[in-house]
Amino acid sequence: MLYTIFRFVGDESVLRGIIADLPTLALLAVIAACIVVLSKGADWMIEGVVQLSRRTGMPKIVIGATIISLGTTMPEAVVSVMAAWMGDPGLALGNGVGSIIADTGLIFGLTCILSRVPVNKYILNRTGWVQVGAATLLVVLSVLILLSFKGDPILGRKVGFSFLVLLGIYMYMTYLWAKRGGDMAVDGELLDDSELMSLPKCWIMLFVGLFMVVLGARILVPSASEIALRLGVPEDVIAATMVAFGTSVPELMTAIASVRKGHPEITVGNIVGADVLNCFFVIGAAAAARPLEIPKNFYRFHFPAMLVILYSFRFFIHKDKDGFFRKSQGAWLLGVYLVYVALQYGLNIGTVH
Please state the φ and ψ torsions of residue 103, each to the nearest 5 degrees.
-60, -50
User: What does the pLDDT look like over 218-245, one tens digit per residue?
Assistant: 777 677 777 777 877 655 455 445 555 6
pLDDT for the residue 144: 93
- Residue 292 pairs in a beta bridge with 155
Mean pLDDT to the nearest integer, 323-334: 90
Q: Which of 58-67, 100-109, 137-146, 174-183 has the lowest mean pLDDT?
A: 174-183
> Position 166: which residue type?
L
pLDDT for the residue 182: 46
Q: Which of 145-149, 204-208, 305-309 has the lowest mean pLDDT?
A: 204-208
pLDDT for the residue 164: 92
Helices 264-277 and 249-260 sit at what angle, rounded to 10 degrees? 160
Mean pLDDT to the nearest integer, 169-193: 61
What per-residue string of b and e applies to 190-222 under the rule 16 or more CB within 10 Å gives b? eeeeeeebeeeebeebbeebbebbbbbbbbbbb
Mean pLDDT to the nearest integer, 260-268: 74
Mean pLDDT to the nearest integer, 161-183: 78
Q: pTM for the whole thing?
A: 0.75
Count how many residues are written for the chain.
353
pLDDT of 28 above 90: no
Spans of all domains in the chain: 2-346
Element (H, E) at 293: strand 292-293
Domain 2-346 is classified in which CATH homologous superfamily?
NCX, central ion-binding region (1.20.1420.30)
Provide the CA 212 distance to its chain's centre, in angstroms.
16
Element (H, E) at 236: helix 235-238
pLDDT of 7 above 70: no
> Position 21: which residue type?
D
pLDDT of 78 above 90: no
Most confident stretch, 51-65, 206-220, 320-334: 320-334
